[in-house]
Structure 1
Amino acid sequence: MTLFHLILVAAIQGLTEFLPVSSSGHLVLLPALTGQPDQGLAIDVAVHVGSLLAVILYFWSDVRIAAAGSLRLAQGKVDTQGAFLALCLIIATIPVMIAGLIIKLTGLDEMMRSVAVIGWTMLGFGLVLYWADRTGASTRTASGWTLKDAFVMGLAQILSLIPGTSRSGITITAARRLGYGREGAAKLAMLMSIPTIIASGALLGADVIGEADWQMAKDGAFAAVLAFVSALLALALMMRLLKSVSFTPYVVYRVILGIILLVYAYS
């Protein structure tokens, strides 16, 4: 990979991973629209690691509580805030792990990597996010997360396996319909991303073990650092803006990009 291509991939992954605009959709579009070769699984793993470190750092206090609670959970005890949060995250992650494995084994993941699919999902799920954000109540906070809501959001997260849907976007949509405020919905979606990214990274990592060389390692390390920085900046900016701005700007971006992609795909 050229340095420019590497920077482009890492920056796109970092900037779009936690925004409700679909990082996977943008990464699929990059080679399709620019003619650049696919970045490959090794770089995919690297940028996922960088994004993962960014969200862990930003929500470190919650991550630390959940990590400590997971030890209690491993003992079969759900008697602390951290243990309950860890249980909710597990419940929210199981559906997408099962669905992701099925899609990978059946080859459906490659069948969905098209400009037309991304165009429709960008447009359709963007409008669904707008509807949920405008009609959803804001009476609940992230601290009131329940096992039932975690499962519902986990089911919604399955849709993120379709390129262009956006993992954060669809989980935020579900949370807003469940009555969580914008900041709370975004926070829950970000926390859900941690085990999901770990699971997907492990799955991708299994495919690249034994193929790595020194150059690939250097490219991966550089991509991970750049993805970490860009993801942290994007995450901090979004969480700050949600104090006063709705999700409408992201919806507008999705609708415009979706229409452009559909015109391109069918022309």
Structure 2
Amino acid sequence: MPSKPSISGGGGGPNAPLLAKGELLTKGGSLAKGESRSRLGRGTVLASDLGVRILIFSDIHSDWKTLERLLSVEADYYIAAGDQVTWAKGIERAGEILRSRGGKVYVLPGNHESADQVAGMCARYGLHNFHERHMQIGRWHVAGLGYSSPTPFNTPGEYTEPQLAQRLERFGALDPLVLVCHAPPYGTALDRIREGLHAGSTAVRDFIQEHQPVYFFCGHIHEAEGVEARLGQTRAWNVGKKGYLLQLE
């Protein structure tokens, strides 16, 4: 089992202190583990011959068969980028399934879960709370920020745009950066609901424009699931529950 990398940062609600190569997965499957080793922060992990594999997915919304299928894919890390459930109902079931991959699982709250609810689930089921945190995998920095920008529905996991911007800024000096957010960047293909209607975050968009992470992953807008975009030099995906398997070399 991979050793744990060092994780920095801390999660919390809106008033908490601030602290590739790949493939879109549309079917179940697994990748055989190789014997090469890669440095993960302070530890060493068993990785594939192609590098460290991170499976990123979001917006399961209690589709347990899809979650089980995603977790059947072999990876070194699994990042659940929010909205495992709807209005926090069924969060214990999500934890039960996610713990099948144990310490390899890193969880963000979407807009349908609060930071406290996700932190509690992670503590009960041996998962990593990755909200407002980052870790180092070899030369790569991987950072996570949950919650969406405000919605018309007053869901439990929402930040204002200034709150999102303030929390993102802590990741600005990390390079090279893989950034995973629940919220997509506003006015892009990743947050398009229909022609002329977008529902992403201006703070996320501005951070990407200024800092140009190498990779960016998000969810939240179901209509954009599976969409890939190039935002300057940043390669970006709305992963949704199709998921994306990123290989870092």
* Bigger share in strand: 2
* Bigger share in helix: 1
State TM-score, norm by structure 1. Answer: 0.24
Higher relative contact order (CA 8 A, sep 6+): 1
State TM-score, norm by structure 2. Answer: 0.25
